[in-house]
Structure 1
């Protein structure tokens, strides 16, 4: 290869000059001739030759083989040995250095030319191979995946730092070890070891595997979730010289995937419960409208009858059935988080003690209740009736978890501080902010629940009891959520169940109006007959409710004008209504809703008393429409006395 630089190391000047002339005639550069080791090393530093023609036997100092060792060690130079001696010992020493050629003196010019040309070609090929190997090694060292290479016997011949970190084996210690000892990994679904797959790859040249769900055990016993790719190294077609194993650490990715799946499950569960809540709330609202009509008709009939009449007793029984139906609608509203609540400061400990005392006689004889109530708890802002229902349902469920053995129910209260991460373990807890909560925990050692049952316990009307009915835990869930709290459940078959309900420790009561209490419904209200006069405008899209309200109001002494929707009501108002005392408006109407109508009335006829009616709870309406300056709210279904009491408040 003309143009390449060649260094001649020869102590006989005549032979050296003859070789120089020949090589230069062939187009090579021979800038320097050296005669010993010192001159050789200096010439290499200065000329950087591409090939060295080196006489083995030099006149003085180190011989050519010793010089060649230094040249290969420091500069990786290709060497052609020249010698007049061909004894076995010399040839053995020379062969150990793997020279590019070996010429015996005297040699022909053509022989020298061929040897130089072949040596330069092989040197160029070796440099390219070393550069490729260097790039390959650098790549393997730098990539983020672990790489382990075995030889044909299944022993480790290469390992990069990532693989060393995953396996816990330092590279120097891993080299030469059986790969089965270094890579201790199993395929989770099939429990197949990675070592057995490597052994297969060593005998099946065309077999390439990629495996997910591998569990890698490091030398320090730490676990890594990995995926692996195996490919055989082919020395010749169908001849395997080793196996390459590429390991990818999937621990972080799988953790993120599991977290994403958990979030998706929570989102789907939240959406499902939201849908059920909307469905339950909507049904309860419409159900209350229907009950209002039936209850009103029955109550009017009872008002016109003597209490001694046999018909009166039948109507009274029908009325009792209606109240139970109204209670069911109330449970549906509780599940949807829209149940009627009378908010007040509650002593949770006293409330729990009262319920336990009430239920002791109704629980199974062998069921005992153990109380652990924390002292000096802050008050709970809530509805006493609904919180009692929560305690009662949780205790009843705990008692029914014991089938044949004696039962011990542990009930405790305490003040806890919850972080957002802790709240994430509660049902709908991710909707809450971290802070201080009152915790009510009911724990039993009963039959427990499996995962499938736990996934459905808060669904409306779901039960595992043969004679189960009602909303049960669904209402509990809705009440707790309506109070701004959450609930946690832990259970396993035969290991009992723990329910933990949390409520904000200092939850502020909803501002504005509240529905009349039960006392207001039953107590006789002193009514000034002069105040029950004038005209009331009733706006409701349900004809039956308009009729009932009209008869109620007329019985009290009012004149009544009705409208089936908001536009008709505005027309009535525009035409003028003499002695208008107030307006009763249904909240949910097609076209113009009740709040939209109230907004128009407020703008056109300021000062006119307005009362809204709805099947939803009072606090929700009051908080949402506080800007309308309402004079009252009626939650359907309502009784005659409830309406009269509300009107007295409105007209004052």
Structure 2
């Protein structure tokens, strides 16, 4: 298009015109195809159009701003018009367009129409796209590009790539390399933070624009791969968990049998000592030893049961469950864990419909979170707040979507367990749902991992927020079936 602009400028100079405007009519409106020398007078273009349509082929004097011009028009077709303007000091011109000039103008209009179609296509493109001059100044960008940047058109127009991608240190050396080598270049998984503070992961593809051997600018494709990266990491995590599950299942079954023998013999020997009349120091020591063996065997048994639960596939037996009733039942059972002056606060938002869930599995989740919260709190001033509310989330806020859940519904129920306990160190939060990771001295590291897998099997997810010394909040998000 640059060569056409140059040729249009030369045509104006050859005709001796002060300005030249080529317009195309679409429906009832005229749109500029190309112009040269009109920069100061574009506001008066509407006035010129009215006169040119009424007097095609004629020339007349007109004031544009404070200057006098002789203007006129030439219709190249029913929907293509050329407006010419001459300095008023010259005599009335005799404009003669050669056939080559007319052919050029028709070709220019055709190319402009194709460029317009291309721009509309690029604006609707599902990835970010931009064009820049050789200095990096942006002269074209599409809507998706603005969405990725978190900016509006005025904030981007005329800026350089280095300004709009502030903080992306990899951009500058790549653009220098692009100019030197004249080859396509790629940048993958680059961290970017938009003006609102939202962190994104971007892929860049830069390509040079050449005129002969001269570098005249470059284009770029920018793709937001944040969600894709998250999904990829989730898939890898699921694969890791699946492998661990198969391993622990086989180990658990192998250990369970000899452990049962150890526990059984320890219990049998202790019972014999209890029934005997021996009360010597050795007998007391043996009795304490047997009690410790029993307790340790029980603890190992609990670990093995968790391992087996963890390794089992989550095959759900869904039924219609009133969430409020289920939580009241679980919290009533969970009071056996409360100590001292610890107490419970429960709030339930009205209007939440029954859910299709596996009642036994969800009871297991709620009970586990209750027990964890109670154990983390001070026994004299601990408060556990359980709240249930309905929320609507956008697609960007949903880390997982069940294949059966329609995206346009976006309705979820959030069940939160908030305690004022010791909290979780910030460096351990990211690992809190990993299997075998625990912050408890006697923990198995499987309780929260099992809870998470159960919630995921229901098409939901779990989140945690915590501040050390002030408490933690575990939130469960489950999709709601919304009536149309």
TM-score, structure 2 length as denominator? 0.49
Larger Rg: 1
Task: Name the structure with the higher strand share.
Answer: 2
